[in-house]
Each structure stands twice: as structure tokens, then as C-alpha cells.
Amino acid sequence: MLSIDGLTKIYSKKIGPAIKDVSFEVRDGEVVGFVGLNGAGKTTTIRIAAGVALPSGGRVSIDGLDIVRQKVEASRRIGWVPELPNFEQNAKAIDLMMYYAGYYGIHGEEARQASLRLLKETGLEGVERRKASSYSQGMKKRFVLAAAMLSNPQNYLFDEILNGLDPEGIHYFRNLIVKLRQEKKAVLLSSHILSEVEGLSDRVAFIHKGRLLKVMTRNELSSLEGGVLVLRLNVVDDRLLDYLGTLGKPSVDNDKVTVSGYTGDPSAVNLEVIRMGYSVKEISYHTPSLEEYFLKLIGEAQ
Amino acid sequence: MNPLLYDVRRAFTSKGVLAVMIFIIVFSLAIIPLIGNSQVSLPPPISQVAYSVIDEPNGFNILFYVYNSFGQPLSGVTLNVTSSTPGLFSQVTKSNSSGFAFMVIPYPNQNTTTSYLATLQSSLNSNVVGIQLLPPSSKIGSIELGQPEPPATLGTVADPNNSSRTDIFVFAVGPNFTKPDDSIYYQITAQNLPPSLSNMTPLSRVSNYVSSAYITVPSDANPADFLWIVLATSNGTILISEGSPVQSYLSVAPQLNANELASTFFSSLLGLFVPLMAIIGAYSVYGRDRVTGILESVLVRPVTRRGVLVSRYVSIVAAVTLATVITILIVDLIVWYEIKEALGMTFVLESVGSLFVEIAAFVGIIFIVSQFTKSTGALIGSGIGLFLVLDLLWSLLLALAVTATGVSFGSLSALRLQVDLSFVNPSQFIGLLQILQFRSLSGIPIQPSQFGITPVTLILTGALWVAVPVLLAIRIVRSRD
């Protein structure tokens, strides 16, 4: 479990905090989407959680271990895949893997076997002796993932991992995330493309300009503040509007009535209106996407 | 693989480190054969003593004056006077702040024949000078009380205001230890006999116990001619006269053999380029990784920021030291092949030790700079700047500093400034060791302890250079991303 509590990061006092008082948690067996626009503070939050950046305030605990004060033990329980993997330029993948393995106390033949196995699992079999810096973007992410899995950590931090991947790569990582959830791992998945996290996340944390706006479950997301119901009728009168007023907020444009904020079943409305004696020429229902909801949240925040 | 060993291998095999290693070896291959049997001057010894004895009823009253290569007083130098006859006389004294020491030796029995040996032992170095006193038995019966003997000591010292020049040094004592009232004369002549006083050129008056004067030797003087110096009283009585070839006045130094020359040359070469190797190693294995974010791929592992820094620091220092040792051994082979004599083990060990200090200091400094630079370009620029300022152009900058302070080149003040600045520059550490070793600075004889260069201060300085930069880097890294 990964717990972020009151996290604040100030790079420069002149430009204000990059993130401020960010708090949420990622439970075991849960995938939490971490969404926000570019520069919202997602990467900063994840880098602090990964132990590669220091917080200015607040704390991150990994399975109860403080990432700053108990760095060594906490880091054993973390796997981090950054958006742009960066590693030693001239090293072969297998050598780098064995070097990283040394930090987990895995040495010699054991390290070699573990490295080869993980490189194979991540689809890098046959290219182990190539310089990792010569890998494609997708291969680099797979390599970093393999390195992250050296200690079979309980917690994963994925920062924009689907960015820049080909369809096969996206498919691989999507399946991986599902698999990790099944294995009861805690996964924090950041993205600025909301549709990427929509179908994968159990909860979504929205961040904007360094501040956490909201954390919502998948159920809450599916029953957002209602959709928009549009009807075209032969007659629009007060009796009809009184009824539609009980469902949401109706507005009239000639023979078209738009009811916003409706959260029920559109077919039930259709049946009721016909039963009331009206002729329905057209009925449509549209729910806002996560993206629209996020934009709405941003608008409210501003 | 053990991360420490991996980093050692990485630092050792970095192109920059290998390139500097190869450069030093190739350069040595080209230069050492030229050294061959060549010889260069080495400055004369550093601690000297002059004395004058006055017979008094209570015994021989001896006034010693202990001085350095500039003729300046040396305080705290131990003088141990013992008789050749066991148990007859033994006394120890120390020179005071003016370089003087006084001692009374009771007369021995009339029928005792003995001599006295004064041993000069500087407290901070091992320079020892033996002084033979005249046997008192030869003087008993003809004692002329109150008259100094010898009335004066003539010698040569480096000019304190321009140490490339040689001065005539005079230690003179008047009757009953009064200040002298004499004059010094000189003459350059082909004769191996002292000229008459009337033909000599007055140089200066001698009215203090210690004085010195510079003689301008004409450029057309025959080096084989004799330079005669005479000290005479105001009434024209010659007290002492000494003659020596002009050449020996201009260059009185003993010779440095080829092996010592190779050692000196090689120390300078290593002192110049090993810091560069350290800078490149620190940049390649730590600085670049930190600035470009590569280090984060390690920081995410179960290791603290301090752990990563210390691990890389140890790796780089070990790798560059190893590269230096290998380079020294290869060059030693070249020296052995060319002059049939290997570099001394003491030289090798001292070089490795002092270069280790330089390596550790420069690696630590680059680690500190890495915490504040945001790009590889800025870091490379800083590294090159450090190399230029602290190492390659140091002598030039030193000359500018001397000019700026208005001190004469070669003067004692200039030398002191050079030494003081060397203490605050890690690349000059091997230079400080050389000063201690050869008791010479820029070819000028000095007493290292007078400049604060002693084994103790060097060990302390070395320890500080090894510890302070890395401890500072550790402190910074704990609070910075």
C-alpha cells in the first residue's frame, strides 16, 4: 500500500509549489489513475513517491515505511517506470540488470538468471546484450519495468507509461496492469490522457496546478452528475415540462426539450412520455466523459 | 555484480581516464630518454650555523648564529655541543628568535687535549651540520681575552628579495661581543692570491652581527677567475679573506642525478594530469549521471542518496588511483630502461599518497559542483575551469597574484605567497611534498618548516582535502534533489 499524506514540493520559492498538500492512497490490489494536465504535478508526486526526489513537506509511506527516513527498506517495495527511461549510455542491458540486482543483494549467477528471466518476461529476450540506450522507447520502458520487478515489489508507480508506445506496447502494459491488480499489487498509474486510465482504474485522483481536486471510485465515476437527455416532440406544453422538471433541468427550443442533469434510464422516460399522450419524434441521451468531468472540475477549481 | 565493483570498472574504463593515462605514458616515453644523463642544479643545504668564540676567564664564550638559506635567523634550532673526550663536556641549547644561541665551555685541564663538536639539529627537519671547535689546549698560555675567533664568517646565501641572486653573507663579532665596525671589500682577479686592500672595491660596511651584500659580477667575467672577499676593520686590518672561483659564486649547487631528475619531472607531469583524470572520472561516473537524471535509475533502488554518493566516490577514487599506480609502474619501467635505475620506492609511495589526496579532493569538488549545475555543458565547463585555474594555469595565476600584491618575484614574500596558496589548492599537494623532499621551491633553497611545510602539516592538509569536499557533498546531497 502506498500512502501519500500532505505532500508538498517547492522547487523555487519564486514560482510557488509544484504540488501542495496532496493526499491519497493506493491500496493493495487497487489501480489508481492519477490524472491531470501537463505540469499538474503528477510526475513530481511520483518521483517523490519513488524516492528519487525529496519532499518539501508531507510524507510518502510505502507499506508503512517512510520513503525518506526508511529509504532502503521502502525502496525494496517499489517499482518505478518513468515516462522517459534514462540509464547509463554505454552499458549492455544484461550488465545493467545485474548491476541493479546488486542493490537488492542479488549477485553472481543468481543475478544473471533473474535478469535473463525478467528480460524474457518483458519481451526483451534475444536483445539482452544490446546497449539499453539503443532500445526503442517501448523497449526502454520494458527494460525499466524488468529492472523494477527485480525485487518483486508490492507497489508500482507508472508515470505516463502508455505514452509513445505502439499498439502492441499499449496492449502489453494494459494487460500487465490488470495482471498486477490480480496479484494484489498497488498500482499508481499517471496519465494526462484520461481515456487511458478510465478503463483500468479502480479509482481516479484528479490533480490540477499541484493540488488534488478529487479522488473518485469507478462507481462514482459511472454515476457522475448526470447526463443530457434530448427529446423532440409533437407538442411541448406545461404539463410535459412539469414532468421533465422532476427529472432534471429542462430547456425548450421549439419542439426540442433538453433536460440536463438526468441520471436515470432514458427508455423509462420515453415510455412515460408516450403514456402521457405525447408523440416522441426523437430521444437521445449523452453522459459526460471523464475528460469532460475533469474539465468541469478544473473550471470549478479556477 | 557488486555495484561498487561495477562503478570501479566503469570509472577505470571510461574513455577520458584511459586517454589521460595513455597521454602520460606516451609523453613520458618521449621525454624520459631526453633526460638521460643530464643534470641540473640543486640548491645548497638549508640550515647553517656561524659562530664566534671569545676567551674569557670563565672559559670559551661562544655565540652561535643559526640561519636559513636566505641568511635569516632560525629559531628553536637545537645545538648540541659535546667534547671528543667522553664525559668532559656536553650541553644543549636552542637558538632564540634572533637565531642566536650562547654557550660557555669551561676550560679543560692544561694537559687535556680535546676538541668539541657542535651538532645542529633543526627541530622540524633532519638537516645536521657538524662544527669543529679549536682544541682549547692549543690556546692555553696565549689567551687573548675578549677577542673573537674567528672574527667573522663569510658565506653565500640566497638574496631574500630576489632568490635567483646570491648574496655574500657575513657574521661578524667585535671585541667582547660588541657589534663590529668593519667593512667588506671584493675583487675579481685571475690570481689565486688575495689582492691588496687598496686594489679592492668597497662593498658595504658591516656594523651588525649579521649582514649580507650583493656583488654584481660583470657579464664578461671569466668564470675561472677568483672572487676575493675581504673583511677588514676600519683601520685597514684584514680580519678574514676568502677567494673562490666566480663560477662557484654564481652556481654553488650540487648536482641532481638523472633518476632524481626523472622523479622531479614525473612528479610534475603527474601533478598536472592526474587531477584532470580525477575530474574526468568524477564527471563520467557521477556528475553526468546526476545532471542528466541517469542517477535516478540507481536512486530508486534500495540505497540512500548518501549511499550512492559514497559508493561512487569510493569507486572513482579507487579507479583513478589504480590508473595512476599503473601509469607510475609503466613509467618506472621506462625510466629503468632508459637510465638503468628504477624510481625510488619512497618516491613511488609518496607520489601515490599525495596523488591520492589530489584525486580524492578533485572528485569531491566535482561532486559538489554537480549538485548545483543543471546541464552537462555547465558541468563540463566547470570541470575544465577547475582544471585550468587550479592546475594548468596555476603558475601563471600565481605570477599575476604576485604582481598584484606588489611583491618582487623570487623574494621571500613571493615564495611564502606561493606556499600559502599551494595549501589551499589540492593540485599543488604533490608540489608541497616535493618542497619537503627537496627543500627547494622553484629551484630556490628553503627550509620547508619556515613555510609551514612539515610532515605533520602535510598529513593534516591531505586529510582535510580527502575528507572535507566529500563530507560537504554528502551534506548537500541529503537536502537537494
Q: What is the pLDDT of residues B288-300, one digit of tens each?
A: 999 999 999 999 9
β-strands A19-26, A2-9 pairing: antiparallel
Q: Same domain, yes or no, for B304 and B452? A: yes
**Which distant-in-sequence residues (6+ apart) come within 8 Å of A126 by Cβ?**
none
Closest-approach residue (CA) in chain A for B15: A90
- Reported confidence tier of residue B110, pLDDT bands at 50, 70, 90: low
- Reported confidence tier of residue B142, pLDDT bands at 50, 70, 90: low
Summarize pLDDT for B371-389 with one digit per residue, the tens.
Answer: 999 999 999 999 999 999 9
Spatial strand order of the sheet with A203-208 comes to: A78-81, A155-159, A186-191, A31-35, A203-208, A211-217
- 3-state SS, residue A191: strand
Q: Same domain, yes or no, for B326 and B455? A: yes
Torsion, Cα A154 A158 A162 A166, to 10 degrees, reads -60
Residue B403 lies in a domain: no
Q: What is the CA radius of gyration of chain A?
A: 25
Task: Say how far apart CA A261 and CA A252 lie, in whole Å.
Answer: 15
- What is residue A164's predicted lDDT score, i.e. its pLDDT? 80
Residue B402 lies in a domain: no
Q: Same domain, yes or no, for B293 and B361? A: yes
Task: Say how far apart CA A108 and CA A296 lie, in whole Å.
Answer: 55
Ranges of chain A with pLDDT below 50: none
- 3-state SS, residue B56: strand
Q: Same domain, yes or no, for B302 and B236? A: no
B229, β-bridge pairs = B186, B242
For residues B72 and A92, which has the higher predicted lDDT (pLDDT)?
A92
- What is residue B279's predicted lDDT score, i.e. its pLDDT? 96
Q: What's the number of domains chain B is made of? A: 3
List the alpha helices (DSSP H) in chain A.
42-50, 71-75, 93-103, 108-121, 137-148, 167-182, 194-198, 218-222, 238-245, 266-275, 290-301
What is the DSSP code (8-state) at residue B285?
A: I
Q: Same domain, yes or no, for B303 and B451? A: yes
Q: Same domain, yes or no, for B311 and B447? A: yes
C-beta separation of B252 from B242 below 8 A: no
B55, β-bridge pairs = B60
Among B189, B217, B251, the domain boundary falls at B251
Domain extent, residue B314, equals 3-38+255-392+423-478
The pTM score is: 0.71
Interface of B to A at Cβ within 8 Å reads: 1-3, 6, 10, 289, 292-294, 296-305, 307, 479-481
Q: How far is CA B39 from the centre of its chain?
A: 19
Whether B302 and A144 lie within 8 Å, measured CB to CB:
no
Q: What is the CA radius of gyration of chain B?
A: 29
Summarize pLDDT for B164-206 with one digit per residue, the tens.
Answer: 677 889 999 888 888 888 999 998 888 888 888 888 888 889 8
Interface of A to B at Cβ within 8 Å reads: 47, 50-54, 71-73, 75-76, 78, 80, 82, 85-89, 95, 98-104, 107, 111, 144, 147-148, 151
- What is residue B481's predicted lDDT score, i.e. its pLDDT? 82
Q: Which residues of A touch B13 (CB under 8 A)?
A: none
Whether B303 and A54 lie within 8 Å, measured CB to CB:
no
Whether A86 and B292 lie within 8 Å, measured CB to CB:
yes
Q: Same domain, yes or no, for B304 and B370? A: yes
Among B128, B149, B170, the domain boundary falls at B149
φ/ψ of A170, rounded to 5, equals: -60, -45
Task: Say how far apart CA A241 and CA A231 lie, in whole Å.
Answer: 11
Q: Same domain, yes or no, for B472 and B366? A: yes
Task: Say how far apart CA B245 and CA B265 lie, in whole Å.
Answer: 31
Among B228, B251, B274, the domain boundary falls at B251
Task: Say how far apart CA B212 and CA A121 lie, in whole Å.
Answer: 87
Q: Which residues of B touch A148 (CB under 8 A)?
A: 300
